[in-house]
Amino acid sequence: MSVNEISSWIVGIIVLIGAILSLVSAVGLVRLPDIYTRSHAATKAATLSVMLVLLGTFLFFAVIEDLVSARILLGIVFVFITAPVGGHLISRAAYHSGVSLWDRSTQDQLHAKKKKHGSS
């Protein structure tokens, strides 16, 4: 096997693992009971899946086409920074706009803190 063949196998397997992780995140988005667990599934697994797929793309173009693409590296860094921030912001907006937790969840420390301060 030549170097190109081996590296294309590695790229294919990395991309396939990323796609399967994206499917896992989508299943979590449908099956989980409330919005906070859903954002847990959607944010983390989807971020890891898109990072794996972009890493596979970067390796493919770096080894086979001999082109180191700074755009893909920038895309990996940007997704890794912004996707958890987006998940945090939307979960916070959900809590403050009064979306209730799952009825079998037992801990809500933010609720006690909000009641003690008595504002908003």
Partner 1 sequence: MINILLNTSAVIISISIFVGLYRVVKGPSMPDRVIALDMIGINLISLVAVVSLILETTAFLEVVLLLGILAFIGTVAFAKFIEKGVVIERKRD
Residues that bind partner 1 (CB under 8 A): 8-9, 11-13, 15-16, 18-20, 22-23, 25-27, 29-30, 35, 38-39, 42-43, 46-47, 49-50, 53-54, 56-57, 60-61, 65, 67, 69, 71-72, 74-75, 78-79, 82-83, 85-87, 89-94, 96-97, 99
The span from the CA of 8 to the CA of 24, in Å, is 24
Q: Give min distance, CB of 112 to partner 1, in A.
A: 20
We find the least distance from the C-beta atom of residue 53 to partner 1, in angstroms, to be: 4
CA 27 to chain centroid: 13
Cβ contact 21:45 at 8 Å: yes
Range list of H helices, the chain? 3-31, 35-63, 70-96, 109-117
In the bound state with partner 1, the residue whose beta carbon lies nearer, of 74 and 112, is: 74
For residues 90 and 38, is the Cβ–Cβ distance under 8 A? no
Smallest distance, Å, CB 102 to partner 1? 12
Nearer to partner 1, 99 or 110 (CB): 99
Q: How many residues does the chain have?
A: 120
